[in-house]
Amino acid sequence: MVLKTGIVKGDIFLKHTPGDGCPDTPKRLTSIYSMLNDPDMQDIFVDVGPKKAEQETVTLFHTHEYFKKIAETKGKNLIALTGDTHACKDSFNAALYAAGGLLKAISQVAAKNLDNAFALIRPPGHHAEKSRAMGYCLFNHIVLGAMFAQKILKLGRILIIDWDVHHGNGTQHAFERDPNVLFFSVHQAGLFPGTGFFTETGLGPGEGYTINLPIPKGYGDAEYTAIFESLLAPVAQQFAPELILVSAGFDTHKDDPLGGMLMTASGFAAITASIKRTADKVCGGKMVMSLEGGYNCDALSRAVKAVLKEMAGITCCDVNAMAAEANKKKVDFVVRRTIEVHRHLWNF
């Protein structure tokens, strides 16, 4: 059955130009938007026009002072916010529309006007802290999406999955004391930003609701799928979220210049199918993805296409068959370490 899958896209996201040398170029999105015109992608997806987020929405998480700091970059030439994160004259608007577009998609999925959705936006968001730009990120869209779902849509439990090759530090810090948001991150150990150890499990009432899986380089399609099936699926069913949000980074692709993983489009399809299967069981399929990293443009567009086809039900990956091909030693290392840290709260 073909599902109603929404897509957030727009020319505004191409106007964020953070300068020569930054891997987050507009070409990342032009490659994806071009792919959406392929014959096998026609007349399938629902266009969710981007919507500008208001200040009161952005300050659900970010401080008013930080919002003002980013707003002051509007109309100015390239400004360095940190050593790795820059803003141009259109970056503030791009970030506002990125956040607003994701929130619009979440609203439509929550209202069952869409089955699921993917916000194909930039700049990315998961590194942005409450009052600090970081890692090419200005506003933390996935955090704003979860807080919007909690405070405005009045949803209870939210599951956030982050499969970017880099740890989503900003997302973890936003919810590390909140037992109503489960943050599950699979990322490459030893990379920027240097956070996301197995032992970072949340604080106070949120203890156990942060699950970090820092894995060595060299994990591929089958290993990722087996990890999602062995660890995420049982925990998600116990947590029973009302909405699943995904920070979807594609820098785990084998051709990506920033990571050391071995994923392909088939693997991204498989982990999407795994999450979708879980979403169908626990929250009526309510799943919304937001684009994070992924810096080989050809690999990015192929992987996003595979994910979208799974989301829409055009393809149906055999998750069990993919997981069965995993290197058992690699998977067992992650499963064993995770169970050691989290057995007091979750049954795996």
- Which residues are catalytically annotated? 127
**Exposed, middle or buried, 180 (CB in 10 Å: 0-12/13-18/19+)?**
middle
Which one, of 314, 317, 312, lies nearest residue 4 by Cα?
A: 312
Contacts of 33 by beta carbon, 8 Å cutoff, 6+ apart: 9, 120
Contacts of 71 by beta carbon, 8 Å cutoff, 6+ apart: 92
Whether the link from the prior residue into 214 is cis, omega within 30° of 0, is: no
Residue with tokens 């240097």: 194
Strand order in the sheet with 46-48: 46-48, 5-8, 116-119, 287-291, 243-248, 158-162, 181-188, 210-215
Contacts of 155 by beta carbon, 8 Å cutoff, 6+ apart: 110, 149, 242, 243
Phi/psi of residue 345, each to 5°? -120, -35
32 in helix, strand or coil? helix
